[in-house]
């Protein structure tokens, strides 16, 4: 009897382990986990929603390169393995690291009471306008967060950039050295208490959030006639 109970417990444990392993490999729809924790900074949880702007921005940038590489099937570019790195994974890492960088610097800007002056606000408004104009057609219809939230994020980024410029000037170093991939910033970040929620982020498929890869993603402003001609050529 005891032997049978032990065997049953082992079987149940194995089944639970297999189920957990299967679930952990299943992809998540980014829109379904906006309230989940994306990363923590000094124990402060930041939701996945914070990444919304960065998802839209980075998918647009990579997709533009993908159109150059293979306009008829941009998914080919996303799946490339170059110099030991997958394009898709690099894009995913870039999104997370940009988001962490801007969150930290925005918080520091807030602590120092920084605000945008009139000139900086006008520059931001132009940047916001250019951002919307430059989106790919599919992205306009598939934003993962609201328009308002994206604009709010861009306002926070502007403050983060202002803090970055002030920090670089204070340290007498280049502005880029404190960018998300800058040398001095990376050295500083390595000493900070920052943790990425890989259990969630690893299951999000970057490249398939605001984009569809069953057709070419045309840039806004292209004539409908041009799009039709391209579709006809593919046929």
Summarised one tens digit per residue, pLDDT across range 57-84 is: 999 999 999 999 988 889 999 999 988 8
Position with higher pLDDT, 12 vs 137: 137
Rounded Cα–Cα distance for residues 140 and 154 (Å)? 17
pTM: 0.81
- The mean of the pLDDT values for the chain is 87
| Length, in residues, of the chain | 235
pLDDT digits (tens, 9 = 90+) for 150-170: 999 999 999 999 999 999 999
Largest CA distance in the chain: 80
Q: What's the gap between Cα 91 and its chain centre?
A: 7
**The predicted structure's pLDDT at residue 8:** 56
Position with higher pLDDT, 106 vs 228: 106
pLDDT digits (tens, 9 = 90+) for 110-119: 999 999 999 9
pLDDT above 90 (res 233): no
Predicted confidence band at 11 (pLDDT cuts at 50, 70, 90)?
Answer: low
Cα-flanking dihedrals φ and ψ of residue 40, to 5°? -125, 145
Rounded Cα–Cα distance for residues 15 and 11 (Å)? 6
Q: What is the DSSP letter of 26?
A: S
Percent of the chain as helix, strand, coil, to the nearest 5: 65, 10, 25
Cβ burial 196-214 (10 Å sphere, 16+ → b, else e) = bbeebbebbebbbbbbbbe
């Amino acid at each position: 009897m005891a032997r049978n109970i032990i065997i049953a417990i082992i079987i149940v444990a194995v089944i639970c382990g297999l189920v957990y392993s299967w679930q952990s490999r299943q992809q998540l729809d980014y829109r379904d986990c906006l309230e989940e924790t994306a990363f923590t900074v000094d124990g402060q949880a930041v939701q996945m929603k914070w990444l919304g702007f960065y998802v839209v921005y980075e998918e647009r940038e990579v997709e533009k390169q993908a159109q150059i590489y293979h306009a008829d099937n941009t998914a080919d570019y996303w799946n490339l393995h170059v110099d030991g790195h997958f394009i898709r994974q690099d894009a995913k890492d870039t999104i997370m690291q940009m988001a962490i960088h801007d969150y930290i610097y925005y918080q520091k800007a807030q602590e120092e009471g920084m605000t945008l002056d009139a000139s900086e606000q006008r520059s931001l408004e132009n940047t916001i306008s250019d951002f919307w104009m430059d989106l790919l057609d599919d992205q306009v219809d598939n934003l993962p967060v609201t328009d308002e939230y994206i604009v709010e994020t861009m306002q926070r980024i502007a403050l983060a950039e202002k803090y970055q410029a002030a920090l670089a000037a204070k340290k007498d170093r280049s502005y880029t050295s404190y960018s998300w991939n800058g040398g001095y910033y990376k050295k500083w970040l390595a000493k900070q208490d920052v943790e990425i929620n890989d259990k969630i982020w690893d299951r999000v498929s970057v490249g398939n959030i605001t984009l569809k890869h069953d057709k070419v993603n045309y840039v806004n402003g292209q004539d409908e006639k041009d799009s039709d001609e391209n579709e006809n050529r593919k046929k």
